Amino acid sequence: MIFETHAHYDDKAFDHDREDLLNLLPKEGIEYVVNVSASLDTVDNTIALVDKYPYIYGTVGIHPSDTGALNEENFLWLKEKAKHPKIVAIGEIGLDYYWDEPEREIQKPWFERQIELAKELGLPLVIHSRDAANDTYQILKNSKADEVGAIIHCFSYGVEQARQYLNMGCYLGIGGVVTFTNGKKLKEVVEYAPLDRLVLETDSPYLSPVPHRGKRNTSLNLPLIAKEISRIKKIDYETVVSVTHENARKFYFREGLSK
């Protein structure tokens, strides 16, 4: 059974068939799904999904591009939402210098505040980091984020940055980009990184793997990602699925909790 560590099934791309698709996933070997919040609006959407589907869990957090909407009042609201029993992480949070909006002086303090929230609640972190490797690493290090743990979602940096994050105890989220012909850098990271530090993700509805690139992504494509990891690391597919599943359980379900 496969563990989907990062999807956005509250996205409007699923409005026409969400229920049919989500009911299909367990029948197709997807045992768990973590639906990831990215904005204030998506927090309640995520909680509605985790309440409806036994195998869906969620995260609460504000994507760096949406941190301009945060203030002290809604940050307290966010904290209360994060106490829901099926919320298993704070995320996705981090830094995004590709869009560079809002300005970095807004992104950074809210990143730090959300890390502190995770530490206060004893929840791990789901990290978004785009074109911001050094600042992301330094904030995680200075905030002692290793005390709660982190997945670097949709890992997009090279082997040297991977080494830094792995040495901090982070997991690397591997998605459809690993199947792209221009995904050489990620393929090198997958070859380098220990399997017990990798987790599978789709970022649905985004970043569909080959041969579905450019189309809507779903967790049904996770086997394509696992097969590519298997090919790169020269290990059997079943081992990739089993080890990444166990990694995700350890990360999200903490201390052997039965979920």
Tokens of 109: 């303090």
Q: Report pLDDT for 100.
A: 86
Is residue 52 included in any domain, yes or no? yes
Q: Report pLDDT for 254.
A: 86
Instruction: Summarize the confidence of residues 186-191 as an average pLDDT.
Output: 98
User: Is a pLDDT exceeding 80 seen at residue 205?
Assistant: yes
Q: Which among 100, 153, 148 is positioned nearest to 128, based on CA atoms?
A: 153
110 in helix, strand or coil? helix
Is residue 70 included in any domain, yes or no? yes
**Residue 257 — very low, low, confident or very high, per pLDDT cuts 50/70/90?**
very low
Please count the other Cβ atoms lying within 10 Å of the Cβ belonging to residue 248.
Answer: 26
Residue-wise pLDDT tens digits, 71-87:
999 999 999 999 999 99
Q: Which among 201, 197, 186 is positioned nearest to 232, based on CA atoms?
A: 186
**Cα separation, 104 vs 116, whole angstroms:** 18
**Cα separation, 66 vs 195, whole angstroms:** 33
**Cβ pair 230, 236 in contact under 8 A:** yes
Q: Report pLDDT for 35.
A: 98
What size, in residues, is the chain?
259
User: Is a pLDDT exceeding 90 seen at residue 189?
Assistant: yes
Tokens of 196: 């017990």
Instruction: Summarize the confidence of residues 204-215 as an average pLDDT.
Output: 98
Average pLDDT in the chain: 97
The domain in which residue 98 lies consists of 2-253
**Cα separation, 228 vs 48, whole angstroms:** 33
Angle at alpha carbon of residue 5, lines to 170 and 209, rounded to 5°: 105
Q: Total structural domains in the chain?
A: 1
Instruction: Summarize the confidence of residues 216-230 as an average pLDDT.
Output: 98
User: Is a pLDDT exceeding 60 seen at residue 258?
Assistant: no
**Cα separation, 21 vs 91, whole angstroms:** 24
Is residue 258 included in any domain, yes or no? no
Is residue 259 included in any domain, yes or no? no
Is residue 218 included in any domain, yes or no? yes
Q: What are phi and psi of 5, to 5 degrees?
A: -90, -10
Q: What percent of the chain has pLDDT over 70?
A: 98
**Cβ pair 208, 221 in contact under 8 A:** yes
Cis bond upstream, residue 223 (ω within 30): no
β-partners of residue 87 are: 58
Residues 6+ apart with CB under 8 A from 227: 237, 240
66 in helix, strand or coil? helix
Interstrand relation of 56-60 and 87-96 (parallel, antiparallel or unpaired): parallel
CATH number of the domain where residue 56 is located: 3.20.20.140
User: Is a pLDDT exceeding 50 seen at residue 32?
Assistant: yes
Instruction: Summarize the confidence of residues 134-155 as an average pLDDT.
Output: 98
Q: What percent of the chain has pLDDT over 90?
A: 97
**Residue 155 — very low, low, confident or very high, per pLDDT cuts 50/70/90?**
very high
Instruction: Summarize the confidence of residues 163-190 as an average pLDDT.
Output: 97
